Amino acid sequence: MSNPLVYLPLIGAWLLTALYFIVNKDEKHGHTYVMSTGIALMFTAYIISPFAIPDIEWSFSDLRIIVIMALFCYGVILAVLGIARTFPDFLAEFFGDPGHALIPSIMAVLYIEKGIPFDWLTFSIIAVPVFIVSIIKVYRRHLQ
């Protein structure tokens, strides 16, 4: 049931986007990136839904369905707020970060595909590389 094609676009898009912001230190995450983060979350939820619902039975008592719906709704909210430009710039900087989409997406994929629970260990294993790259980005941006 494992499909590496689910992981590769998530990690690849995060890494390439993060490298872009490291190299181009004057570029900031704006409202467009908030919208893009939302779209990435919506597509991730769509792509992993067949793994959660192999026989097309929807039951809101199933935590996998709740995870998919939460990921999708969070993506819709970010996309709409990014389009409407309702975030202040400092929030757009935070929510537009590519790691902001990677952490919940990978956690959802690992839970849906492998049954790996949402816990601090799983979060730490995923978040540490994202935080390291974010620190490099911030350091690079403020390095003059």
Question: Given pLDDT bands bounded at 50, 70 and 90, which one contains residue 128?
Answer: very high
What pLDDT does 57 receive?
67
Instruction: State residue 40 phi and psi, 5-degree precision.
Output: -60, -40
Range of the domain at 137: 4-142
pLDDT-wise least confident of 5-14, 50-59, 92-101 = 50-59
User: What is the overall mean pLDDT for the chain?
Assistant: 81
Average pLDDT of the segment spanning 116-144: 83
Using an 8 Å Cβ cutoff, are 137 and 22 in contact? Answer: yes
Q: Tabulate helix, strand, coil % of the chain (nearest 5).
A: 75, 0, 25
pTM for this model (two decimals): 0.77
Question: Given pLDDT bands bounded at 50, 70 and 90, which one contains residue 2?
Answer: low
Phi-psi sector, 48: left (phi>0), alpha (psi -120 to 50), beta: alpha
Question: Given pLDDT bands bounded at 50, 70 and 90, which one contains residue 39?
Answer: confident
Q: What is the pLDDT of residues 57-101, one digit of tens each?
A: 667 777 888 888 999 999 999 889 888 888 787 787 777 787 878
Alpha carbons 32 and 30: distance in angstroms, whole number: 5
Q: How many domains does the chain have?
A: 1
Phi-psi sector, 115: left (phi>0), alpha (psi -120 to 50), beta: left
What pLDDT does 4 receive?
63
Q: With 60 as the cut, is the pLDDT of residue 127 above it?
A: yes
